Amino acid sequence: MANNQHIIKVNSKDLPLSCPRPGEETWNMHPRVFLPLKGRDEVVVCPYCGASYQLSDTD
């Protein structure tokens, strides 16, 4: 996990996961990158902004 950073929970409906997320402020965006999120226990970190994501369901 990335040094005590807040983990953003996403649902299986949000897959494929990309960062920045749809609807975020355009002035604060970096190039969109797709993040491979495979399982519920996995945490992936965006290489651009350091946002951490975790799957909250497995539907």
Residue at 2 is within a domain: no
Residue at 20 is within a domain: yes
Boundaries of domain holding 36? 7-55
Residue pLDDT, tens place only, 3-57 = 456 899 999 899 999 999 888 887 778 999 999 988 888 999 999 999 999 998 7
Q: Which residue has the higher pLDDT, 46 or 59?
A: 46
| H-helix or E-strand spanning residue 7 | strand 7-10
Residue at 11 is within a domain: yes
Q: What is the pLDDT of residue 57?
A: 78
Residue at 47 is within a domain: yes
DSSP string covering the chain: --TTPPEEEE-GGGPSEEESPTTS-GGG----EEE---STT-EEE-TTT--EEEES---
Residue at 1 is within a domain: no
Q: Total domain count for the chain?
A: 1
Q: What is the pLDDT of residue 2?
A: 44
Q: Identify which of 32, 30, 39 has the alpha carbon closest to the alpha carbon of residue 10.
A: 39
Q: Hey, which bits of 11-55 come out as E strands?
A: 17-19, 33-35, 43-45, 52-55
**pTM recorded for the entire structure:** 0.79
Residue at 45 is within a domain: yes
Residue at 24 is within a domain: yes
